[in-house]
């Protein structure tokens, strides 16, 4: 019996000791090693939970984390109280050196094993932080909130932006890598943020003597050009950061032509700039610290790439804290020479992977379409194109027959233009709710002077006889001033069963032609339907999001009709109480509402002259047989009109949109 007790004691001691050894093995690792650990039973342990609690303490209310923290180190009670006091501070919150990225990965792994709601909440707060920190141009700064200095640059350094995009990609693709998934609304934001990030990567790829090359570790947030960081980090091309950027691009399942071209050009640059026959040797002291780096000739050494290469000719260079370029590593002081990674082998991973990737995508630009008049766009690669604009650009110019481009469900973050030479095109979505074309340009972002509004549109129609069906077209810039979702500068254009979403200037219905908007939802704040077209809006919902003006017509003097709304519902957000039907952008504006239901947000006076008294004599603002609390014909401004029955009879689709000349041919709108 005594021996049995002794055996039990030995076994218990061994278990306790083995546990202590395992604990020590974990605690001796770096934070990066712990977050990179494969998911196993350890993440269900009390130790993992304790570390996760530390992670929550270090997270700031804004959602992100500071950098260079060994989260696994035990915290005293005093340290915990200090961290709680820092919660509301956003100072030093960053994505640099893997901050926020590694904490989100760890929380996801712990949550899969220990699904506590607070871990999920912290992860989602981290995700919201990443979304909020993104620039309009798609890039991310090193610190957010912004920290003065080079920290505001778009930061590829130490893979900061690539790490963020990896998070977004796993979430949008629902790969299962993360145990936590956001709501559908947030996932859509993630999808758009990823697309914007890829667009930023494409836009910052450096053009050297007319040829795309690689990237700098940081790029100016305004000009997008390579930018200086610390004194020894001069504008240059970077072998290290560029490699992981290209690996990210190569991981995209169905890359666009632009992404494919970017990869091809970057790989060519890597081949051109690799250094062979040279290796780096290190001299260590007794403590194992590097005290010297020496470059040695070695014909058998693997290829290496310089950390910094000249923007003009790709010549490697080195610099000390004085910021002066040197030709060799030996020319700079020991502190920088030994304390910085001046050469990298990362691009070799790209070159190793490239042949297989190239084989998979080599025929992309040479794709032969079976039917030039029926093509499909699908983000998942199941169609003929993954980009709407690519499909349009490859369409036949001035076709005799109609070209139908079917767009599968998905969020398409791109500016789309149907060119003047692409008439007779139909863009038809799989469903209005889930086929979304979105972009976020706006007046101040465009910054091209007083006409910047007209460059801000998400979709631009310059081609006659274009048809849009079952789409959501959105300007997602927010309430930031003029920001057009859809601009139509053509005739015989039909927009059917579409959502047009935005704030100010949502729909620019212009050109001297005729346009037909049927069964559409159109929302906005100020002048959100504006321009000089003759346009019929039939069975549409016109939704106001703020007290302001619905229409701002600029109808030409000679036009018989301007904007005509028939059988439409005028609705508004609950807080909207003072909405005008319209005001004249130009003094001959014509706008008429017939058989429409007007909500109580419509002001009794109905119309405004835009501080143009002369417009009261030249505009034609009228109504007929409207209904609803907002229809108060007796209280309208005295220079507006209430149509008689005989006058209202002239407002037919034939008279508004038809050919005034007699013809046996069917009208264009009869062929929709």
Three-state DSSP state, 158: helix
Mean pLDDT (whole number) for 442-457: 95
What is the model's pLDDT at position 370?
Answer: 57
Three-state DSSP state, 534: strand
User: Could you write out the DSSP letters of every residue in 327-374?
Assistant: SSGGGS-HHHHHSS--EE-THHHHHHHHHHHHHHHTTGGGPPPS-TTE
Angle between helices 101-113 and 160-172 (to 10 degrees): 30
Mean residue pLDDT across the chain: 92
pLDDT digits (tens, 9 = 90+) for 121-180: 999 999 999 999 999 999 999 999 999 999 999 999 999 999 999 999 999 999 999 999
What are the residue ranges of helices labelled H in 59-139?
Answer: 77-85, 101-113, 117-133
Q: 299 in a domain, yes or no?
A: no
Lowest-confidence region among 5-14, 411-420, 638-647: 5-14
- Look at the chain and count its residues: 672
Q: 461 in a domain, yes or no?
A: no
C-alpha 328: how far from its chain's center?
A: 41
Q: Which domain holds residue 142?
A: 1-196
Lowest-confidence region among 66-75, 193-202, 277-286: 277-286
Among 133, 165, 196, where does a domain finish? 196
Angle between helices 257-273 and 184-204 (to 10 degrees): 50
pLDDT at 73 over 90: yes
Among 137, 166, 196, where does a domain finish? 196
What is the model's pLDDT at position 28?
Answer: 66
Close Cβ partners of 508 (under 8 Å, ≥ 6 residues apart): 453, 454, 457, 484, 486, 487, 488, 489, 530, 531
Three-state DSSP state, 291: strand
What's the pTM?
Answer: 0.81
pLDDT digits (tens, 9 = 90+) for 188-226: 999 999 999 999 999 999 999 889 999 999 999 999 999
Angle at 459 between CA 455 and CA 462, to 5 degrees: 80
User: Could you write out the DSSP letters of every residue in 45-106?
Assistant: SHHHHHHHHHHHHH--TTS-B-SS--TTS---HHHHHHHHHTTT--TT-B-GGGTTHHHHHH
Catalytic residues: 505, 527
Which CATH number is 650's domain given? 2.160.20.10
Q: 535 in a domain, yes or no?
A: yes
pLDDT at 17 over 50: no
Query: 232 and 319 in contact (C-beta within 8 Å)?
Result: yes
Q: 582 in a domain, yes or no?
A: yes
User: Could you give the CA distance from residue 25 to residue 27 in angstroms, rounded to a whole number?
Assistant: 6
Close Cβ partners of 303 (under 8 Å, ≥ 6 residues apart): 274, 275, 276, 345, 347, 348
Q: 278 in a domain, yes or no?
A: no
What is the model's pLDDT at position 270?
Answer: 97
Mean pLDDT (whole number) for 561-587: 98
Q: 333 in a domain, yes or no?
A: no
Closest CA to 251 of 130, 356, 140, 131: 356
Closest CA to 99 of 68, 121, 127, 71: 68
Peptide bond into 145 cis (omega under 30): yes
What is the model's pLDDT at position 330?
Answer: 87
Closest CA to 252 of 305, 191, 207: 191
Give the β-pairing of 278-284 and 290-297: antiparallel
Tell me the C-alpha to C-alpha distance, in Å, between residue 497 and each of 467, 522, 524, 594, 608. Answer: 11, 10, 17, 20, 30
CA dihedral 145, 149, 151, 152 (to 10 degrees): 70
Please, which pLDDT band fits residue 287 given cuts at 50, 70 and 90?
confident
Which CATH number is 167's domain given? 1.50.10.20
Among 196, 229, 258, where does a domain finish? 196
User: Could you give the CA distance from residue 190 to residue 172 in angstroms, rounded to a whole number?
Assistant: 6
User: Could you give the CA distance from residue 125 to residue 13 in angstroms, rounded to a whole number?
Assistant: 42
User: Could you give the CA distance from residue 296 to residue 277 in angstroms, rounded to a whole number?
Assistant: 8
Per the structure, the count of domains in the chain is: 2
Lowest-confidence region among 21-25, 224-228, 329-333, 447-451: 21-25
Close Cβ partners of 166 (under 8 Å, ≥ 6 residues apart): 101, 248
Q: 533 in a domain, yes or no?
A: yes
User: Could you give the CA distance from residue 268 to residue 450 in angstroms, rounded to a whole number?
Assistant: 42
The count of other CB atoms within 10 Å of the CB of residue 333 is 11
User: Could you give the CA distance from residue 670 to residue 516 in angstroms, rounded to a whole number?
Assistant: 11
- H or E stretch at 319: strand 318-319
Residue 75 CB burial class (10 angstroms; 0-12, 13-18, ≥19): middle
Q: 563 in a domain, yes or no?
A: yes
Mean pLDDT (whole number) for 523-541: 98
User: Could you give the CA distance from residue 586 to residue 599 in angstroms, rounded to a whole number?
Assistant: 26
């Amino acid at each position: 019996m005594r021996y049995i007790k002794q055996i039990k004691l030995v076994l218990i001691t061994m278990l306790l000791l083995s546990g202590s050894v395992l604990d020590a093995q974990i605690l001796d690792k770096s934070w990066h090693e712990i977050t990179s650990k494969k998911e196993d039973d350890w993440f269900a342990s009390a130790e993992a939970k304790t570390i996760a609690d530390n992670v929550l303490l270090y997270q700031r209310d804004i959602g992100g984390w500071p950098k260079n923290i060994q989260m696994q180190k035990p915290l005293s009670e005093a340290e915990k109280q200090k961290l709680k006091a820092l919660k509301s501070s956003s100072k030093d919150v960053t994505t640099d050196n893997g901050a926020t990225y590694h904490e989100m990965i760890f929380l996801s792994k712990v949550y899969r094993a220990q699904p506590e709601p607070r871990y999920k909440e912290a992860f989602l707060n981290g995700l919201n932080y990443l979304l909020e920190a993104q620039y309009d141009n798609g890039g991310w700064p090193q610190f957010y909130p912004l920290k003065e200095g080079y920290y505001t640059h778009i930061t590829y350094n130490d893979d900061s932006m690539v790490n963020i995009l990896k998070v977004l990609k796993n979430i949008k693709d629902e790969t299962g890598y993360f145990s936590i998934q956001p709501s559908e609304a947030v996932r859509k934001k993630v999808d758009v943020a990823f697309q914007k990030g890829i667009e930023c990567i494409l836009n910052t790829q450096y053009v050297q003597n007319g040829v795309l090359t690689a990237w700098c570790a940081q790029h100016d947030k305004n000009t997008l050009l390579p930018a200086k960081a610390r004194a020894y980090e001069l504008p240059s091309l970077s072998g290290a950061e560029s490699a992981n950027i290209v690996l990210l691009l190569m991981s995209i399942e169905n890359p666009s032509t632009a992404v494919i071209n970017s990869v091809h050009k970057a790989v060519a640059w890597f081949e051109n700039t690799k250094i062979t026959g040279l290796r780096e040797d290190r001299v260590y002291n007794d403590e194992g610290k590097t005290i010297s780096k020496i470059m040695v000739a070695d014909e058998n050494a693997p290829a290496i790439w310089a950390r910094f290469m000249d923007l003009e000719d790709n010549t490697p260079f080195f610099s000390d804290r004085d910021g002066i370029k040197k030709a060799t590593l030996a020319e700079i002081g020991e502190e920088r020479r030994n304390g910085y990674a001046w050469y990298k082998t990362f691009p070799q991973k790209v070159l190793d992977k490239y042949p297989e990737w190239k084989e998979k995508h080599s025929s992309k630009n040479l794709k032969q379409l079976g039917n030039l008049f029926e093509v499909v766009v699908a983000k998942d690669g199941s169609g003929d194109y993954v980009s709407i604009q690519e499909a349009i650009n490859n369409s036949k110019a001035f076709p005799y027959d109609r070209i139908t481009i079917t767009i599968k469900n998905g969020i398409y973050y791109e500016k789309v233009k149907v060119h003047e030479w692409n008439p007779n095109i139909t863009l038809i979505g799989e469903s209005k709710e889930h086929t979304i074309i979105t972009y976020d340009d706006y007046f101040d972002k465009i910054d091209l002077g007083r006409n910047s509004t007209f460059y801000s549109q998400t979709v631009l129609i310059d081609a006659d006889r274009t048809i849009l069906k079952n789409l959501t077209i959105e300007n997602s810039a927010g309430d930031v001033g003029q920001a057009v979702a859809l601009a139509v500068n053509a005739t015989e254009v039909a927009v059917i069963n579409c959502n047009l979403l935005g704030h100010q200037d949502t729909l620019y219905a212009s050109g001297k032609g005729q346009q037909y908007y049927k069964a559409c939802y159109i929302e906005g704040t100020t002048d959100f339907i504006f321009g000089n077209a003759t346009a019929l809006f039939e069975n549409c919902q016109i939704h106001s999001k703020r007290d302001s003006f619905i229409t701002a017509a600029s109808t030409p003097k000679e036009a018989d009709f301007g904007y005509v709304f028939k059988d439409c519902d005028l609705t508004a957000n609950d807080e909207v109480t003072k909405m005008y039907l319209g005001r004249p952008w130009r003094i001959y504006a014509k706008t008429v509402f017939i058989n429409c239901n007007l909500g109580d947000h419509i002001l009794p006076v109905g119309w405004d002259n835009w501080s143009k008294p002369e417009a009261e004599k030249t505009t034609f603002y009228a109504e007929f047989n409207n209904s609803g609390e907002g229809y108060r014909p007796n209280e309208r401004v005295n220079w507006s009109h209430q149509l008689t029955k005989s006058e209202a009879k002239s407002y037919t689709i034939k008279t508004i949109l038809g050919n005034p000349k007699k013809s046996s041919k069917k009208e264009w709108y009869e062929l929709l």
